[in-house]
Structure 1
Amino acid sequence: MRPIPPPLGADAADADGVPDGVMVKRVIAFFIDVLCIALLYLPVLLVLSLASLLSLGILSPLVAIILALVPVAYHSLLIAGPWSATFGQRMMDLAVRSISGGRPSLGQAAINAITFYTLGSITGWVITLVALTNRQRRCLHDFLAGTVVVNRSGGTRLVFGRRTSAEDTLFTGDKDA
């Protein structure tokens, strides 16, 4: 049986309403995720290299496409999953939420990941500077996907609202939470 994620508390914020430490935690989580993705690349690259070799190079063009999809799939599937966070975000006690306060959909997670990697590679990660211009510390890809990254535990309300009863049931198993 899979462990049930802990309840998502409201986002801890300082006196000005700015989420405590989210920016620093996001940077550290990103580097943890880079290591996780690198570990995922090893078996994928081995399988793809073997397939390319056995096909006498016919499958070689697909290698680049599939390798580009690995980080997108990693972020999309984990952000849309029950924890609403990548492994790095989970280690840093962060969660990704829809601006309505719920768990992001797979579409939102995919938009978030695709725009992060696409715009990040084009702008040289300048897109993350947008987070310095707004109180919720949302990056450009967060705005485009309709998501916000919050501290998983904390003492104040979420900026965008309270959890729904469906989320209470999902996270705690208690229908009366």
Structure 2
Amino acid sequence: MSDYSHASGPGFRARPAAELTDVDLRPDLYDGVVTKRIGAFVVDVVLISVLVLLGYLATFVMGFLTLGLAWLAFGLVFPAIALGYHMVSIGGPWSATPGMRLMGLEMFETTGGRATWIVGLAHPLIFWISGTLTAFLVVFIALFDARGRTLQDMLTGVVVVNRLPG
């Protein structure tokens, strides 16, 4: 397999895997990533919360129109919206959630390719499950990892880096 992945997305330029994973080769890719990820997380939580509230409102209204049948879906609103948000944004052409884009971050597979929608699905699921089981102590791994990787990054084979021009 080549060090370069296939091109995709607006202005996508394939990156060699070594460029993305070697901190000594490109320290600028990882400068401030952990702090930016925290900011991106806050932005994404706010955006997902707004979408979930709109989803609950729509489900509530639909419940009246369906004589209460739609109210059975209340428990599915949050997971469907949150997972959909991550799948579409991480698996999309920018390989980043809106919060990550705002903070100047993007996600790549360690092979150099863009993250896929499968990563967009697995990444938040691993975060929620491992975070629930460990009271979110798993995110502290990023403080001790040279690349600022969390457990879910390691398990899905991705790195989050500063966006490079071009």
Instruction: Give the TM-score, by structure 2 length.
Output: 0.79
- Runs of 4+ aligned residues of structure 1 deviating over 4 Å after TM superposition are 5-18
Larger RCO (alpha carbons 8 Å, 6+ apart)? 1
The Cα offsets for residues 18-53 of structure 1, whole Å up to 9 and x where unpaired, read as 820000000001001111112212332221111223
Judge conservation of contact 1:97–1:148 (CA < 8 Å) in 2.
yes
Return the offset for 1:153: 2.2
**Larger deviation: 56-65 or 7-16?**
7-16
Indicate the residue corresponding to 1:33 in structure 2: 44
2:51 maps to a residue whose letter is L
Alignment root-mean-square deviation, CA: 2.7
Determine which of 83, 104, 122 is the counterpart of 2:94: 83
Classify 1:5/1:91 alpha carbon distance in 2 versus 1 (closer, same or farther; 3 Å): farther
1:63 lines up with 2:69 in the alignment: no
- 1:94-109 superposed matches below 5 A: 94-109=105-120
Identity of aligned residues (%): 31
Instruction: Give the TM-score, by structure 1 length.
Output: 0.74
Which structure has more helix as a fraction of its residues? 2
1:4 maps to a residue whose letter is P
The Cα offsets for residues 4-25 of structure 1, whole Å up to 9 and x where unpaired, read as 3475886696899482000000
Unaligned stretches of 5+ residues in structure 1? 155-171, 173-177
1:4 lines up with 2:10 in the alignment: yes
2:132 maps to a residue whose letter is S
1:35 maps to a residue whose letter is V
